[in-house]
A and B are shown apart, each in its own frame.
Chain A
Protein backbone atom coordinates (compact mmCIF):
# COMPACT_ATOMS: atom_id res chain seq x y z
CA UNK A 1 0.00 0.00 0.00
CA UNK A 2 1.88 3.03 -1.20
CA UNK A 3 -0.86 5.25 0.25
CA UNK A 4 0.20 4.26 3.74
CA UNK A 5 3.87 5.11 3.52
CA UNK A 6 4.84 8.55 4.79
CA UNK A 7 7.38 8.89 1.98
CA UNK A 8 4.49 9.22 -0.43
CA UNK A 9 3.24 12.39 1.25
CA UNK A 10 4.42 14.91 -1.38
CA UNK A 11 2.11 13.23 -3.85
CA UNK A 12 -0.76 12.77 -1.37
CA UNK A 13 -2.70 15.33 -3.33
CA UNK A 14 -2.55 13.34 -6.50
CA UNK A 15 -3.06 10.00 -4.80
CA UNK A 16 -6.52 10.59 -3.44
CA UNK A 17 -7.62 13.38 -5.74
CA UNK A 18 -9.57 12.07 -8.69
CA UNK A 19 -8.61 13.84 -11.89
CA UNK A 20 -12.05 15.37 -12.39
CA UNK A 21 -11.84 17.32 -9.14
CA UNK A 22 -9.95 20.54 -8.77
CA UNK A 23 -9.05 20.22 -5.11
CA UNK A 24 -9.45 17.84 -2.18
CA UNK A 25 -11.99 20.30 -0.76
CA UNK A 26 -14.14 20.10 -3.87
CA UNK A 27 -13.87 16.32 -3.87
CA UNK A 28 -14.84 16.14 -0.21
CA UNK A 29 -17.85 18.42 -0.73
CA UNK A 30 -19.04 16.20 -3.56
CA UNK A 31 -18.73 13.13 -1.35
CA UNK A 32 -20.68 14.83 1.44
CA UNK A 33 -23.44 15.84 -0.94
CA UNK A 34 -23.65 12.36 -2.42
CA UNK A 35 -23.80 10.81 1.04
CA UNK A 36 -26.62 13.13 2.10
CA UNK A 37 -28.55 12.19 -1.03
CA UNK A 38 -28.14 8.55 -0.07
CA UNK A 39 -29.24 9.33 3.50
CA UNK A 40 -32.33 11.02 2.04
CA UNK A 41 -33.26 7.75 0.32
CA UNK A 42 -32.70 5.95 3.61
CA UNK A 43 -35.05 8.38 5.37
CA UNK A 44 -37.66 7.71 2.69
CA UNK A 45 -37.16 3.96 3.12
CA UNK A 46 -37.87 4.24 6.83
CA UNK A 47 -40.72 6.66 6.09
CA UNK A 48 -42.57 3.70 4.58
CA UNK A 49 -42.46 1.95 7.94
CA UNK A 50 -43.29 5.12 9.85
CA UNK A 51 -46.29 5.47 7.54
CA UNK A 52 -47.34 1.91 8.37
CA UNK A 53 -46.99 2.76 12.05
CA UNK A 54 -48.98 5.99 11.73
CA UNK A 55 -51.87 4.41 9.85
CA UNK A 56 -52.01 1.41 12.20
CA UNK A 57 -51.86 3.55 15.31
CA UNK A 58 -54.36 6.13 14.11
CA UNK A 59 -56.93 3.46 13.34
CA UNK A 60 -56.22 1.11 16.26
CA UNK A 61 -54.99 3.25 19.16
CA UNK A 62 -56.08 0.65 21.73
CA UNK A 63 -53.63 -1.90 20.35
CA UNK A 64 -50.68 0.45 20.84
CA UNK A 65 -51.87 1.67 24.23
CA UNK A 66 -52.05 -1.91 25.38
CA UNK A 67 -49.19 -3.68 23.65
CA UNK A 68 -46.36 -1.32 24.52
CA UNK A 69 -46.56 -2.65 28.09
CA UNK A 70 -44.78 -5.72 26.78
CA UNK A 71 -41.70 -3.64 25.88
CA UNK A 72 -39.09 -2.85 28.49
CA UNK A 73 -38.81 0.91 28.93
CA UNK A 74 -35.48 0.70 30.85
CA UNK A 75 -33.88 -1.43 28.13
CA UNK A 76 -35.12 0.93 25.45
CA UNK A 77 -33.78 3.94 27.34
CA UNK A 78 -30.46 2.15 27.89
CA UNK A 79 -30.18 1.51 24.17
CA UNK A 80 -30.98 5.16 23.45
CA UNK A 81 -28.18 6.31 25.75
CA UNK A 82 -25.76 3.78 24.28
CA UNK A 83 -26.54 4.89 20.74
CA UNK A 84 -26.28 8.61 21.59
CA UNK A 85 -22.88 8.01 23.18
CA UNK A 86 -21.73 6.09 20.10
CA UNK A 87 -22.86 8.99 17.95
CA UNK A 88 -20.72 11.31 20.06
CA UNK A 89 -17.65 9.06 19.87
CA UNK A 90 -17.90 8.72 16.10
CA UNK A 91 -18.30 12.50 15.70
CA UNK A 92 -15.21 12.96 17.87
CA UNK A 93 -13.41 10.34 15.76
CA UNK A 94 -14.12 12.38 12.62
CA UNK A 95 -12.75 15.45 14.39
CA UNK A 96 -9.53 13.58 15.26
CA UNK A 97 -9.25 12.33 11.68
CA UNK A 98 -9.61 15.92 10.45
CA UNK A 99 -6.80 16.95 12.77
CA UNK A 100 -4.61 14.02 11.77
CA UNK A 101 -4.72 12.34 15.19
CA UNK A 102 -5.02 8.81 13.89
CA UNK A 103 -4.43 6.99 17.15
CA UNK A 104 -7.15 8.93 19.01
CA UNK A 105 -9.42 8.49 16.05
CA UNK A 106 -8.92 4.72 16.11
CA UNK A 107 -9.61 4.60 19.86
CA UNK A 108 -12.85 6.57 19.45
CA UNK A 109 -13.92 4.35 16.56
CA UNK A 110 -13.24 1.35 18.77
CA UNK A 111 -15.48 2.85 21.45
CA UNK A 112 -18.17 3.38 18.81
CA UNK A 113 -17.88 -0.28 17.84
CA UNK A 114 -18.24 -1.29 21.49
CA UNK A 115 -21.36 0.86 21.87
CA UNK A 116 -22.86 -0.57 18.69
CA UNK A 117 -22.24 -4.11 19.90
CA UNK A 118 -23.76 -3.22 23.28
CA UNK A 119 -26.84 -1.93 21.45
CA UNK A 120 -27.17 -5.20 19.56
CA UNK A 121 -26.62 -7.13 22.79
CA UNK A 122 -29.51 -5.35 24.49
CA UNK A 123 -31.60 -5.84 21.35
CA UNK A 124 -30.82 -9.57 21.51
CA UNK A 125 -32.02 -9.72 25.12
CA UNK A 126 -35.26 -7.98 24.11
CA UNK A 127 -35.85 -10.13 21.04
CA UNK A 128 -35.03 -13.30 22.97
CA UNK A 129 -37.57 -12.41 25.65
CA UNK A 130 -40.26 -11.79 23.07
CA UNK A 131 -39.41 -14.98 21.25
CA UNK A 132 -39.71 -16.98 24.47
CA UNK A 133 -43.00 -15.35 25.45
CA UNK A 134 -44.50 -15.72 22.00
CA UNK A 135 -44.83 -11.98 21.52
CA UNK A 136 -44.45 -12.27 17.80
CA UNK A 137 -46.20 -11.24 14.63
CA UNK A 138 -49.34 -12.63 13.02
CA UNK A 139 -50.00 -16.31 13.52
CA UNK A 140 -46.81 -16.78 15.52
CA UNK A 141 -48.26 -14.69 18.31
CA UNK A 142 -49.07 -16.83 21.34
CA UNK A 143 -49.64 -15.05 24.62
CA UNK A 144 -49.37 -17.10 27.78
CA UNK A 145 -51.94 -16.56 30.51
CA UNK A 146 -49.30 -15.65 33.09
CA UNK A 147 -47.83 -12.99 30.87
CA UNK A 148 -51.24 -11.45 30.27
CA UNK A 149 -52.02 -11.33 33.98
CA UNK A 150 -48.97 -9.18 34.70
CA UNK A 151 -50.20 -6.41 32.48
CA UNK A 152 -51.85 -3.41 34.10
CA UNK A 153 -54.35 -2.93 31.31
CA UNK A 154 -55.28 -6.58 30.92
CA UNK A 155 -58.04 -6.36 33.50
CA UNK A 156 -58.12 -2.63 34.10
CA UNK A 157 -60.46 0.11 32.99
CA UNK A 158 -59.30 -0.41 29.44
CA UNK A 159 -61.69 -3.27 28.94
CA UNK A 160 -65.04 -2.65 27.38
CA UNK A 161 -66.91 -5.93 27.81
CA UNK A 162 -70.24 -4.56 26.69
CA UNK A 163 -68.83 -2.85 23.64
CA UNK A 164 -66.84 -5.84 22.46
CA UNK A 165 -69.10 -7.39 19.90
CA UNK A 166 -68.70 -11.01 18.96
CA UNK A 167 -69.72 -12.83 15.86
CA UNK A 168 -73.18 -13.76 17.07
CA UNK A 169 -74.29 -10.30 18.15
CA UNK A 170 -72.85 -8.77 15.04
CA UNK A 171 -74.78 -11.11 12.79
CA UNK A 172 -78.05 -10.61 14.66
CA UNK A 173 -78.79 -7.12 13.51
CA UNK A 174 -77.00 -6.40 10.29
CA UNK A 175 -77.04 -2.69 9.53
CA UNK A 176 -77.45 -1.62 5.99
CA UNK A 177 -74.22 -1.54 4.07
CA UNK A 178 -72.64 1.90 4.16
CA UNK A 179 -74.62 2.76 7.27
CA UNK A 180 -71.97 2.34 9.93
CA UNK A 181 -72.95 0.56 13.10
CA UNK A 182 -73.19 3.17 15.87
CA UNK A 183 -71.64 0.94 18.54
CA UNK A 184 -68.39 0.42 16.66
CA UNK A 185 -68.02 3.20 14.15
CA UNK A 186 -67.16 6.11 16.39
CA UNK A 187 -63.80 7.05 14.99
CA UNK A 188 -64.04 10.68 16.06
CA UNK A 189 -64.31 10.16 19.80
CA UNK A 190 -61.20 10.64 21.89
CA UNK A 191 -58.89 7.69 21.55
CA UNK A 192 -58.67 7.31 25.33
CA UNK A 193 -61.74 5.12 25.15
CA UNK A 194 -60.76 1.82 23.67
CA UNK A 195 -62.50 0.79 20.54
CA UNK A 196 -61.91 -2.89 19.93
CA UNK A 197 -61.99 -4.16 16.41
CA UNK A 198 -65.02 -6.24 15.62
CA UNK A 199 -63.22 -9.45 14.89
CA UNK A 200 -59.74 -10.41 13.94
CA UNK A 201 -59.51 -11.72 10.41
CA UNK A 202 -58.39 -15.35 10.51
CA UNK A 203 -54.92 -14.57 9.20
CA UNK A 204 -54.24 -12.04 11.91
CA UNK A 205 -55.83 -14.04 14.69
CA UNK A 206 -53.63 -16.06 17.00
CA UNK A 207 -54.19 -19.75 16.34
CA UNK A 208 -55.67 -20.59 19.73
CA UNK A 209 -58.23 -17.81 19.57
CA UNK A 210 -61.60 -19.16 18.52
CA UNK A 211 -63.53 -16.88 16.23
CA UNK A 212 -65.78 -14.45 18.02
CA UNK A 213 -64.88 -15.51 21.57
CA UNK A 214 -63.29 -12.97 23.88
CA UNK A 215 -60.86 -14.43 26.38
CA UNK A 216 -59.66 -12.12 29.17
CA UNK A 217 -56.26 -11.40 27.64
CA UNK A 218 -57.76 -10.77 24.25
CA UNK A 219 -60.17 -8.03 25.10
CA UNK A 220 -57.79 -5.80 23.24
CA UNK A 221 -57.64 -7.63 19.99
CA UNK A 222 -54.96 -8.01 17.42
CA UNK A 223 -52.08 -6.86 19.56
CA UNK A 224 -49.91 -9.10 17.42
CA UNK A 225 -50.09 -6.38 14.77
CA UNK A 226 -48.14 -4.18 17.18
CA UNK A 227 -45.40 -6.77 17.24
CA UNK A 228 -45.41 -7.00 13.46
CA UNK A 229 -44.78 -3.25 13.39
CA UNK A 230 -42.27 -3.51 16.23
CA UNK A 231 -40.20 -6.25 14.63
CA UNK A 232 -40.32 -4.65 11.19
CA UNK A 233 -39.14 -1.26 12.41
CA UNK A 234 -36.57 -2.37 14.98
CA UNK A 235 -35.47 -5.19 12.68
CA UNK A 236 -34.73 -2.90 9.76
CA UNK A 237 -33.02 -0.54 12.18
CA UNK A 238 -30.94 -3.38 13.65
CA UNK A 239 -29.94 -4.34 10.11
CA UNK A 240 -28.67 -0.80 9.65
CA UNK A 241 -26.79 -1.05 12.94
CA UNK A 242 -25.11 -4.20 11.61
CA UNK A 243 -24.14 -2.48 8.36
CA UNK A 244 -22.90 0.55 10.30
CA UNK A 245 -20.82 -1.67 12.56
CA UNK A 246 -19.28 -3.31 9.50
CA UNK A 247 -18.39 0.09 8.05
CA UNK A 248 -16.93 1.32 11.33
CA UNK A 249 -14.91 -1.88 11.78
CA UNK A 250 -13.54 -1.36 8.28
CA UNK A 251 -12.55 2.29 8.80
CA UNK A 252 -11.09 1.45 12.22
CA UNK A 253 -8.82 -1.04 10.50
CA UNK A 254 -7.95 1.48 7.80
CA UNK A 255 -7.24 4.15 10.40
CA UNK A 256 -4.93 1.83 12.30
CA UNK A 257 -3.24 1.03 8.99
CA UNK A 258 -2.60 4.75 8.54
CA UNK A 259 -4.71 5.18 5.44
CA UNK A 260 -6.18 8.54 6.45
CA UNK A 261 -4.79 12.03 6.71
CA UNK A 262 -6.30 15.51 7.09
CA UNK A 263 -6.38 15.62 3.30
CA UNK A 264 -8.13 12.29 2.92
CA UNK A 265 -10.52 10.97 5.54
CA UNK A 266 -13.66 10.77 3.41
CA UNK A 267 -14.52 7.16 4.40
CA UNK A 268 -14.38 8.11 8.09
CA UNK A 269 -16.71 11.06 7.57
CA UNK A 270 -19.13 9.06 5.40
CA UNK A 271 -19.31 6.09 7.77
CA UNK A 272 -19.91 8.55 10.60
CA UNK A 273 -22.79 10.18 8.67
CA UNK A 274 -24.32 6.73 8.16
CA UNK A 275 -23.95 5.93 11.84
CA UNK A 276 -25.61 9.22 12.79
CA UNK A 277 -28.56 8.32 10.57
CA UNK A 278 -28.93 5.03 12.48
CA UNK A 279 -29.01 7.15 15.63
CA UNK A 280 -31.57 9.55 14.13
CA UNK A 281 -33.96 6.72 13.30
CA UNK A 282 -33.68 5.29 16.81
CA UNK A 283 -34.39 8.71 18.31
CA UNK A 284 -37.86 8.42 16.74
CA UNK A 285 -38.33 4.68 17.25
CA UNK A 286 -37.73 4.84 20.99
CA UNK A 287 -40.61 7.16 21.98
CA UNK A 288 -42.94 5.82 19.29
CA UNK A 289 -42.61 2.19 20.39
CA UNK A 290 -41.57 2.24 24.05
CA UNK A 291 -43.03 5.44 25.47
CA UNK A 292 -46.68 5.25 24.41
CA UNK A 293 -48.88 6.47 27.21
Chain B
Protein backbone atom coordinates (compact mmCIF):
# COMPACT_ATOMS: atom_id res chain seq x y z
CA UNK B 1 0.00 0.00 0.00
CA UNK B 2 1.37 3.36 -0.98
CA UNK B 3 1.55 6.04 1.66
CA UNK B 4 0.05 8.53 -0.80
CA UNK B 5 -3.04 6.35 -1.09
CA UNK B 6 -6.12 8.03 0.45
CA UNK B 7 -7.06 4.60 1.84
CA UNK B 8 -3.95 4.71 3.92
CA UNK B 9 -5.19 7.91 5.58
CA UNK B 10 -8.60 6.41 6.16
CA UNK B 11 -7.17 3.36 7.86
CA UNK B 12 -4.34 4.84 9.81
CA UNK B 13 -5.69 8.28 10.60
CA UNK B 14 -4.19 11.52 9.35
CA UNK B 15 -1.46 13.67 10.77
CA UNK B 16 -3.15 16.73 12.10
CA UNK B 17 -6.78 17.60 11.61
CA UNK B 18 -7.99 17.80 8.02
CA UNK B 19 -10.12 20.94 7.89
CA UNK B 20 -13.05 20.62 5.46
CA UNK B 21 -12.78 22.85 2.42
CA UNK B 22 -16.15 24.36 3.28
CA UNK B 23 -14.82 25.57 6.64
CA UNK B 24 -11.76 27.09 4.96
CA UNK B 25 -13.92 28.84 2.37
CA UNK B 26 -16.29 30.18 5.04
CA UNK B 27 -13.29 31.47 7.00
CA UNK B 28 -12.02 33.30 3.93
CA UNK B 29 -15.50 34.75 3.33
CA UNK B 30 -15.64 35.93 6.94
CA UNK B 31 -12.20 37.52 6.67
CA UNK B 32 -13.07 39.36 3.46
CA UNK B 33 -16.36 40.54 4.96
CA UNK B 34 -14.59 41.88 8.06
CA UNK B 35 -12.06 43.64 5.81
CA UNK B 36 -14.94 45.40 4.06
CA UNK B 37 -16.41 46.28 7.48
CA UNK B 38 -13.17 47.69 8.87
CA UNK B 39 -12.66 49.85 5.77
CA UNK B 40 -16.34 50.72 5.65
CA UNK B 41 -16.56 52.13 9.17
CA UNK B 42 -13.88 54.68 8.24
CA UNK B 43 -16.11 56.00 5.46
CA UNK B 44 -19.46 56.27 7.24
CA UNK B 45 -19.62 59.59 9.10
CA UNK B 46 -22.18 58.53 11.71
CA UNK B 47 -19.99 55.60 12.73
CA UNK B 48 -17.18 57.94 13.71
CA UNK B 49 -16.56 57.38 17.42
CA UNK B 50 -13.64 59.75 17.70
CA UNK B 51 -9.97 58.75 17.45
CA UNK B 52 -9.97 56.51 20.52
CA UNK B 53 -13.25 54.77 19.72
CA UNK B 54 -12.25 54.20 16.11
CA UNK B 55 -8.96 52.71 17.20
CA UNK B 56 -10.70 50.24 19.51
CA UNK B 57 -13.20 49.28 16.82
CA UNK B 58 -10.36 48.70 14.35
CA UNK B 59 -8.45 46.62 16.90
CA UNK B 60 -11.56 44.61 17.76
CA UNK B 61 -12.23 43.76 14.11
CA UNK B 62 -8.55 42.93 13.55
CA UNK B 63 -8.59 40.63 16.57
CA UNK B 64 -11.66 38.78 15.29
CA UNK B 65 -9.90 38.36 11.93
CA UNK B 66 -6.73 37.16 13.63
CA UNK B 67 -8.76 34.69 15.68
CA UNK B 68 -10.38 33.32 12.51
CA UNK B 69 -6.98 32.85 10.86
CA UNK B 70 -5.50 31.20 13.96
CA UNK B 71 -8.48 28.95 14.74
CA UNK B 72 -9.20 27.59 11.27
CA UNK B 73 -6.32 28.35 8.88
CA UNK B 74 -3.70 27.57 11.53
CA UNK B 75 -5.71 24.65 12.98
CA UNK B 76 -5.55 26.10 16.49
CA UNK B 77 -9.05 24.88 17.21
CA UNK B 78 -8.03 21.29 16.50
CA UNK B 79 -4.63 21.33 18.18
CA UNK B 80 -3.77 20.27 21.72
CA UNK B 81 -4.43 22.83 24.48
CA UNK B 82 -0.69 23.40 24.94
CA UNK B 83 -0.58 25.26 21.60
CA UNK B 84 -3.33 27.65 22.69
CA UNK B 85 -1.58 28.12 26.02
CA UNK B 86 1.65 29.07 24.23
CA UNK B 87 -0.23 31.65 22.13
CA UNK B 88 -2.27 33.09 24.99
CA UNK B 89 0.74 33.43 27.27
CA UNK B 90 2.61 35.16 24.45
CA UNK B 91 -0.24 37.61 23.93
CA UNK B 92 -0.40 38.30 27.66
CA UNK B 93 3.26 39.26 27.58
CA UNK B 94 2.67 41.47 24.54
CA UNK B 95 -0.13 43.29 26.37
CA UNK B 96 1.99 43.63 29.49
CA UNK B 97 4.93 44.89 27.45
CA UNK B 98 2.97 47.51 25.51
CA UNK B 99 0.78 48.50 28.47
CA UNK B 100 3.68 49.11 30.84
CA UNK B 101 5.62 51.02 28.18
CA UNK B 102 2.65 53.29 27.51
CA UNK B 103 2.02 53.91 31.20
CA UNK B 104 5.67 54.74 31.69
CA UNK B 105 5.96 57.12 28.74
CA UNK B 106 2.68 58.80 29.69
CA UNK B 107 4.00 59.42 33.17
CA UNK B 108 7.02 61.39 32.01
CA UNK B 109 5.47 63.34 29.13
CA UNK B 110 4.74 66.46 31.24
CA UNK B 111 8.37 66.63 32.29
CA UNK B 112 9.52 66.41 28.67
CA UNK B 113 7.16 69.18 27.59
CA UNK B 114 8.16 71.42 30.44
CA UNK B 115 11.81 70.78 29.72
CA UNK B 116 11.43 71.64 26.04
CA UNK B 117 9.30 74.68 26.75
CA UNK B 118 12.12 76.28 28.70
CA UNK B 119 14.61 76.15 25.84
CA UNK B 120 13.83 73.95 22.84
CA UNK B 121 17.38 74.11 21.53
CA UNK B 122 18.87 72.30 24.50
CA UNK B 123 16.69 69.28 23.81
CA UNK B 124 18.95 67.64 21.27
CA UNK B 125 22.69 67.35 21.38
CA UNK B 126 24.75 68.56 18.44
CA UNK B 127 25.39 65.01 17.34
CA UNK B 128 22.18 65.14 15.28
CA UNK B 129 23.41 68.07 13.22
CA UNK B 130 26.61 66.54 11.90
Partner-B contacts on A (CB < 8 A): 6, 9, 12, 24-25, 28-29, 32-33, 36-37, 40, 43-44, 47, 50-51, 54-55, 58-59, 61, 65, 73, 77, 80-81, 84-85, 87-88, 90-92, 95, 98-100, 102, 165, 167, 170-171, 174-175, 177-181, 184-185, 187, 190-192, 197-199, 201-204, 211-212, 261-265, 269, 272-273, 276, 279-280, 283-284, 286-288, 291-293
Residue contact A91 to B19, C-beta cutoff 8 Å: yes
Partner-A contacts on B (CB < 8 A): 1-6, 8-9, 12-16, 18-19, 21, 24-25, 27-28, 31-32, 35, 38-39, 42, 48, 50-52, 54-55, 58-59, 61-62, 65-66, 69-70, 72-74, 79-80, 82-83, 86-87, 89-91, 93-94, 97-98, 101-102, 105-106, 109-111, 113-121, 123-124, 126-129
Tell me the dominant secondary structure on chain A's binding face.
Answer: helix
B110 — which chain A residues lie within 8 A by C-beta?
A: 180, 185, 187
Residue contact A184 to B113, C-beta cutoff 8 Å: yes
Partner of A40, one of B1, B87, B128: B87
Residue contact A283 to B69, C-beta cutoff 8 Å: yes
* Among B90, B97, B105, residue most surrounded by chain A Cβ atoms (within 10 Å): B90
Of chain B, the residue at the smallest CB distance from A166 is: B120
A272 — which chain B residues lie within 8 A by C-beta?
A: 73
Partner of B106, one of A59, A179, A263: A59
Residue contact B16 to A51, C-beta cutoff 8 Å: no
Sample of 18 more A-B contacts, CB < 8 Å, known A9-B2, A198-B120: A32-B79, A47-B98, A77-B35, A81-B32, A81-B35, A84-B35, A170-B117, A170-B119, A178-B111, A179-B114, A180-B114, A202-B126, A212-B120, A262-B3, A262-B9, A264-B3, A280-B66, A288-B58
